[in-house]
Amino acid sequence: GDIVRMEKEHQVLKEQLKEAQEKYEQLQSRSSEEVCALKELLRKSVEETEVSKNELAWFHQDLEIQVKKWQQEKKENQENLKALRHTAKKHTDTNDRCLKTIDEKERQYNIYLNTYLETSNKLANEKVKLEELIKKSQEDCQECVKRAVEAEISVLKNWKETEVCKLNGIAANAEVNLRILKSLSSSASAAPKLKSQIDSWETFILNIKKQLEKVEAEYEEKIQTVKNGARNCLTKMETVDLPSP
């Protein structure tokens, strides 16, 4: 019974050993695969590290270039800032001078403005006085013109009346003579002798009346011209002295 039991245990141990060996082989195979994978991973990591080193070197190189560029820009900016500060100071000084000039100009402007206002007020007062004087002078002038027109018209009327009276007197005397001649010509013996004289006196009277109409018309025209505003019309009309028969 012990031998059978021992054989069974031996058989069990063999199976366990076989199983353990299989597991070992499996583990060994898995370990080999994992080792290969780790080696591959290590190789890739080394390659990536080399690449990273190169990239880092490039980065450092680029960084140095950028730093130099930034330093140059910083230097230029500092110089520009210095120049701008200098320009700003110049502008500030100029602005201060301009403000002082503006203040002075404003002060002078106020003086000129006050002087102008005073002068303007004086001129306005003088203008009012001058306008009043001009108005009065115009009124006086119009009155003088009116009087001058009235005087010219009066003179022309006097000349007209004088000339009309003169011509009417001549015409009246001529008509008296004509009536006398006509009364004398009632005698048959005297009629032929007096006919030419009667004709002459009738012609003379007709001419006197024509001249009278002409004198009246021309003087009336002159008077109307003066009334319409014309000047220097005060000229005496020249009449022709008609010889009596």
Amino acid letter for position 183 = S
pLDDT at position 172: 94
- Is 53 buried (19+), middle (13-18) or exposed (0-12) by CB count in 10 A? exposed
Q: What is the mean pLDDT of residues 163-182?
A: 92
Between residues 66 and 245, the one the model is more confident about = 66
- The pLDDT, as a whole number, for residue 239 is 65
Q: Which amino acid is at 157?
A: K
Domain limits, the chain: 125-228
Residue 29's closest CA among 17, 21, 19? 21
Share of the chain above pLDDT 70, in %: 93
Residue 60 has pLDDT above 70, yes or no: yes
Q: Mean pLDDT across the stretch 170-186?
A: 89
At residue 32, the 3 state secondary structure works out as: helix
Predicted pLDDT of residue 240: 61
CA distance 58 to 50: 12
Q: What is the mean predicted confidence (pLDDT) over 159-167?
A: 91
Residue 103: Cβ-neighbour burial (10 angstroms; 0-12, 13-18, 19+): exposed
What is the per-residue pLDDT for 188? 61
Q: What is the band of 153 on the pLDDT scale with cuts at 50, 70, 90? A: confident
What would the pLDDT profile of 181-231 be if each residue is shown by its tens digit? 888 887 766 667 788 889 999 999 999 999 999 999 999 999 999 888 877
At residue 140, the pLDDT reads 87
Cβ within 8 Å of residue 94, ≥6 positions away: none
Task: Report pLDDT for 193.
Answer: 74
